[in-house]
Amino acid sequence: MGRDQQADQPFCEVYTLGLVPYADAWNLQKSWVSRHRQSPQPDRLLLVEHPPVYTLGQGSTTENLKFLESNPPHPLFRIERGGEVTHHCPGQLVGYPILDLKRHQTDLHWYLRQLEEVVIQTLATLGIHATRQPGLTGVWVGDTKLAAIGIKVSRWITMHGFALNVCPDLAGFEAIIPCGIADKAVGSVAQFCPGITVAEVVPLVKQSFSEVFSLRLVEAPHPE
């Protein structure tokens, strides 16, 4: 795409903040969503890693926890997104798009497939052939899940998003049944690209996100 074409594209602010406590990123998302209800806002993309944490979807069961809810090995949050329990930790790149789908398509299935496509295209640039699995959300290589997706959409404003396992310690997943799927493995990009880092993957995700959503990404300063 030429420079003139890029300039004509709608823009999206991107915030690349490194390691951020889960509660801080969650509160930032809620603040941005709230602003959309008050006045027009740009689309935004937050890219972070988290210290070890578990999150439960709004309607998820605690039966997928292998620990007592009252005594988790890492902080445990019940949040607004759909889906079951998942784990975040350093080495996992988490993307939280705050998009107004009225500017894109007001279709939740389309949006989920777009998020999967961002990850699939990112992995393709690394020579990894990733796919979808029928009836399941996320991105897979065979029966190994490399990326989880869980969203919340209110008045067509999105929050939460995708988590791509780049080079995390996967041991934390052993304390849960990830996404409620007991018969499939959780893997990482590092299993296919030894030595890879989150810093190397961030620009690839930005490029894929820009192309999939037809948005011109604008690097933004640290949010207030």
Q: Which of 141, 142, 159 is nearest to 150 (CA)?
A: 159
Distance of CA 216 to the CA centre of its chain: 19
- Burial label for 150, CB within 10 Å (0-12, 13-18, 19+), is buried
5 phi-psi bin (left φ>0, alpha ψ -120 to 50, beta other): alpha
β-strand 144-154 against 157-165: which pairing, if any? antiparallel
Q: Which residue is catalytic, options 12, 89, 167, 179?
A: 179
Is residue 205 within 8 Å of 122, Cβ to Cβ? yes
* Active-site residue flag, 167: no
Distance of CA 107 to the CA centre of its chain: 18
Would you please indicate which residues are annotated as catalytic (active-site) residues? 179
